[in-house]
């Protein structure tokens, strides 16, 4: 399969502190690729590096980010602005960060379509109605006149997804798109993204800490810990044969339907980027830690099989 995104040896610093360590990530066209891990592991900053929406303090010091073979690191600001929201769309955790509270949803959708597609007002209105229907927003004629605060959280996420569809985005970066939603609405949003992937062959990079949610939709899994990719595999392979101690800990901490089983948690928290840890950065929390070994060497992501890579010394 052909890759739409290839991140090669990406390193990123916040001032003098390193946040990403030689990250490599390939995203196949038409797939839903889940980048998972706890908060603070570097998932979002990796995704934001693709579209170059980084904080001022962040600086990429090494690496390439290829989009359909073109190195985005060499793009001008104007070229990136043309790409963002057009070919690559973002669904943020909080949709209110992408919706202007002073304008109706109709105005915002139409403006977005006109900017990226250069069509007439009438054509943009027709497209806005079409994508609103596609994301299953009822009573479209009326809802186009609503302001963002008049929609629920789930409906606002649908509108952001509609904006991505309106510009025919090839890649959607969904950054924890269901975090603030209840379980029923979470499933509706994920079902909608899955439908879009299958119907339009849209590629989706899903940022998530919720492996239970991811397990039902992902084609491929990349596990991130403290700025490192520590395990990668097709979803089916990952959930049947997890290898890295961090992956095992994440899976073991999932709630079960058995009320007699105590929920197992991962002791401690991911380290701050300011925290110096020798060797494997997971070693202070690892159940398989080997004294005199794991704190002296840093494991490299290596192939355990044709489709399964792990950064760990455990055989």
Query: What's the pLDDT tens digit per position in 40-91?
Result: 999 999 999 999 999 999 999 999 999 999 999 999 999 998 898 789 999 8
Kindly indicate the confidence band of residue 267, based on its pLDDT and cuts at 50, 70 and 90: confident
- 3-class SS of residue 172: strand
Q: Which pTM was predicted? A: 0.93
4 within a domain of the structure (yes/no): no
87 within a domain of the structure (yes/no): no
> How distant is the alpha carbon of residue 151 from its chain centre?
24
Q: CATH number, domain at 285? A: 3.40.50.300
- 201 Cβ partners below 8 Å, 6+ apart? 29, 30
148 within a domain of the structure (yes/no): no
97 within a domain of the structure (yes/no): no
- 229: its two tokens: 């990719």
The pLDDT tens digits of the residues spanning 94-152 come to: 777 788 999 999 999 998 888 877 788 999 999 999 999 989 899 999 999 999 999 99
225 within a domain of the structure (yes/no): yes
Which DSSP category does 78 fall into? Answer: H
The pLDDT tens digits of the residues spanning 154-208 come to: 899 899 889 888 888 999 999 998 887 888 888 999 999 999 999 999 999 999 9
* Containing structural domain, residue 268: 30-48+167-310
Helix 121-134 vs helix 105-117: angle between axes, to the nearest 10 degrees?
110
Number of domains in the chain: 1
90 within a domain of the structure (yes/no): no
68 within a domain of the structure (yes/no): no
256 within a domain of the structure (yes/no): yes
């Amino acid at each position: 399969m052909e890759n739409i995104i290839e991140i090669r040896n990406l390193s990123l610093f916040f001032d003098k502190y390193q946040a990403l360590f030689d990250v490599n990530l390939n995203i196949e066209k038409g797939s839903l690729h889940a980048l998972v891990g706890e908060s603070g592991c570097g998932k979002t900053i990796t995704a934001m590096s693709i579209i170059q929406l980084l904080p001022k303090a962040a600086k990429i010091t090494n690496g390439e980010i290829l989009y359909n073979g073109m190195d985005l690191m060499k793009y001008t600001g104007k070229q990136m602005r043309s790409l963002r929201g057009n070919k690559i769309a973002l669904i943020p955790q909080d949709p209110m960060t992408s919706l202007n509270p002073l304008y109706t949803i109709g105005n915002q959708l139409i403006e977005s379509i006109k900017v990226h597609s250069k069509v007439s007002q009438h054509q943009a209105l027709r497209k806005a109605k079409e994508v609103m229907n596609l994301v299953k927003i009822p009573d479209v004629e009326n809802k186009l006149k609503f302001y963002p605060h008049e929609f629920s959280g789930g409906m606002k996420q649908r509108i952001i997804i509609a904006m991505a569809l309106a510009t025919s985005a090839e890649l959607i970066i969904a950054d924890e798109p269901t975090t603030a939603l209840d379980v029923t609405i979470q499933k509706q949003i994920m079902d909608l993204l899955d439908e879009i992937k299958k119907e339009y062959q849209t590629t989706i990079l899903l940022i998530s800490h919720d492996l239970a949610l991811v397990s039902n939709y992902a084609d491929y899994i990349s596990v991130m810990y403290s700025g490192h990719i520590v395990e990668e595999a097709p979803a089916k392979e990952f959930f049947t044969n997890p290898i890295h101690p961090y992956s095992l800990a994440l899976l073991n901490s999932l709630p079960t339907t058995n009320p007699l089983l105590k929920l197992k948690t991962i002791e401690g928290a991911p380290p701050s980027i300011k925290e110096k840890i020798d060797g494997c950065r997971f070693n202070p929390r690892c159940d398989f830690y080997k004294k005199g070994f794991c704190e002296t060497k840093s494991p490299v992501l290596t192939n355990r099989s044709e489709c399964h890579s792990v950064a760990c010394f455990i055989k």
